[in-house]
Amino acid sequence: MNYIVSFAAAALLVIGLAGNGFEMRRTRLSAIRDEEMATKTVFASRGNFKWYACIGAALVLMAVGSSYT
């Protein structure tokens, strides 16, 4: 059971980081068109919150998986 939780956590982490990278790239490219590049717009974009939730769920699963060893 422990390896299933660890695998799910690793999969969620990889999916979350890759999705966040693509979303931030898309946000950055749209910000460059506006000639305004601010870190506030890149990290606080509404599209990033679903990826932040995925990464957060992976961290919770990692903590749960490591506590049962």
Per-residue model confidence as pLDDT tens digits over 4-14: 888 999 999 99
Please list, in sequence order, all residues whose beta carbon lies within 8 angstroms of the beta carbon of residue 1, skipping any fewer than 6 positions away: 68
Do 40 and 5 form a contact (C-beta atoms < 8 A)?
Answer: no
- Tokens describing residue 65: 């998986």
**What is the pLDDT of the chain when averaged over all its residues?**
82
> Residue 8's pLDDT is what?
93
**Is residue 37's pLDDT more than 60?**
no
Distance CA 26, CA 48 (A): 11
Amino acid residing at 25? R
pLDDT of 53: 94
pTM to 2 decimal places: 0.78
What mean pLDDT is predicted for residues 52-68? 89
- If you count them, how many residues does the chain have? 69
